[in-house]
Structure 1
Amino acid sequence: MKQTLRLAALSLVLGLGLLGAGQMATPSAAAQGQAQPTLPTVTLQAGIHLVKAEVANTPKTREIGLMFRERLAPNHGMLFVFREKAGHCFWMRNTLIPLSIAFLDDDGTIVNIEDMAPRSEASHCPKRPVRFALEMDQGWFAKRGLAAGAKLASPQVFGKR
């Protein structure tokens, strides 16, 4: 009996050691119900308007996006960057603020804009394959007269592969 308990304890200790050695992934910020830390930013220009956009360019940062954020600063948003053009669709699970999303061509031209309700699992997709999407406070684009065909500029982002 004591031998069995010792073996069970040893197995538990070894198992915990393996978990600490990276056998089990650390829960992401989204899994823990937290917003991800602020990401590096780029400045985008839409006519006379400047946008400070956090750049989500990895699977993890794109997955978490603006989840659990309670607000955006004025003229701030998140730019999602993908390696390949595709019909990258978005939803608003765990996103607390209403957003508008602009799907962008490689040169920064707006393909289409969708308004997205908080905490919704409805899909919002581009009308054609894109590599970029910009999320802003809901109505930001409309209030500035920006619609499909308008162009955003950034030497750091658009035109690069």
Structure 2
Amino acid sequence: MKHPAIFAVLAAGLFLAGIQDLRAMTAVVVAIRGEIAARCSMDTSTTSIDLGDLREAGRRLVSIHVDCNTPFLVVMSSDRGALVSDAGGSVPAAFTDRVAYQAKVEIPTDLGLLVHACGSHEAAGSSCAPADSRGGIAQGMDGQVEISWSRPELEPLAGHYRDRLSISFQPRT
């Protein structure tokens, strides 16, 4: 060895630095990272439901397909807070121009069935609290939305009734 003093100083320095195995100098540590973006979506072949005669109680089912790769929230909102008559104008005392309904979402997750129900009056604006999957994931799961209504206490006015119910699945942050 041509420079034993340099080697001795280097060895002493490595020892004092806590590196006792000189072979460790030949190792390389590489930090490896990756990312999978959170996604949550819902598909359905039905965008309009004909409820038929609203004077009697009834229910309709809509199939949905949910694909969430992370825990999620289900958010429902109603534009009008009920099925509302298109007729407009004044409503005689023994009649109504509004028919309340209930919306219920059922979707399986890896932790069990998530059920979220909300009355149309609760879903008006943002007063219907979102449902939390509580850690459950619904990746490629088939579920359903049930729209149901009771027989109205007052006789509904003749005509067409409508509302727009929005249901969204959002990654929980």
Greater relative CO (CA pairs within 8 A, separation 6+)? 2
Q: Shorter-chain-normalised TM-score: which range?
A: 0.3 to 0.5
TM-score (norm 1): 0.33
TM-score (norm 2): 0.31
Higher Cα Rg: structure 1 or 2? 2
Comparing both structures, which one devotes a greater share of its residues to helix?
1
